[in-house]
Amino acid sequence: MWSGRRRTDPTGEGGTDTRGIVMAILRGLVIAAILLGVWALLRPRPLTARQIRQQLFAEVQPIALKNCTLKRIGSRGDGGYLMCANLLGKVQSAYSYGIAGDDNWGCEISRSTGVPVHQYDCFDTTRPACPGGQPVFHEECVGGRTETVESRFFDTVANQIAKNGDTGKTLVVKMDVEGAELDSLMILPDSTLDTFDQLAIELHAADRRNLDLVRKLKRTFHVVHLHYNNSRCTTQWKPFPSPVYEVSFVNKRIGVPNPAVTPVLPHVLDTRNDTFRPDCQAPVIGP
């Protein structure tokens, strides 16, 4: 008589193989555990802060160019940058970001090349004297997007170039804007950066974002000079002797590398940013 209960099949034929199911589950768990262990061993591990600094330190080491004559452009102290003076001949316009009432760099570029220099600063709106040059002062700052912050207007590099009618022209750019270099330059496409024959910037940290920026820039440029700002000398950012440093870039279109020569740092034309503090320069890393 049928009692409503399911009969068990002791032979396992036609019935439920409970033991087989349990073993399959256990095998699956073992395989999953093994795969997780392998993934844990092989997965990329985040770089430590020191590893990031070491990689960035290597990235900013300059190379020699066969066709570059370095010259100090701008003031003797803070505000002067070493650039390839003989490679400025095709520049059609100059951009100087971060003025603070003094733009010796932009004025010298304008006088020596005969091109206008567009000066940008929204924090210090003092218009610097520029005898013999063609200064065009803009009471605005540069950033990663168009916005107004605490009554100060910010715009992107690409928008500013377009508003000045300089899109597609050959440019030379200097940027020292206390960290805003990151957002300002990271959003620029390589096609816009390629219009810069030379770029001089001051970076204000040695972290992942700066590493990413330098690697982006090196798709288009060679690093030709490096100088540490002695106003922030410290041992806390090793191997960097200072977390503030000036980097000069030359477009790969015009710069011809000379692998037979290793640049000497500090360069004879380098001077201390702060004349009242001791210097802290690091030698270049050889090949």
Q: How far apart are CA 41 and CA 36, in angstroms?
A: 9
Residues contacting 124, CB < 8 A, separation 6+: 99, 100, 101
Tens digit of pLDDT for each residue in 90-117? 999 999 999 989 999 999 999 999 999 9
Q: Which residue's structure tokens are 């370095």? A: 70
Q: Report whether 178 contacts 205 (CB < 8 A).
A: no
Tens digit of pLDDT for each residue in 128-173? 999 999 999 999 999 999 999 999 999 999 999 999 999 999 999 9
Q: Report whether 141 contacts 154 (CB < 8 A).
A: yes
Give the three-state DSSP class for 253: coil
Distance between start and end Cα atoms, the chain = 92
Q: What is the pLDDT of residue 8?
A: 47
For residue 258, count CB atoms less than 10 angstroms from its CB and return exposed for 0-12, middle for 13-18, buried for 19 or more: middle
Q: What is the pLDDT of residue 117?
A: 98
Q: Report whether 140 contacts 120 (CB < 8 A).
A: yes
Average pLDDT per consecutive 10 residues, the chain (287 residues; last block may be shorter): 45 62 80 72 83 97 98 92 98 96 96 97 94 96 96 97 98 93 96 98 96 98 97 94 97 98 95 94 72
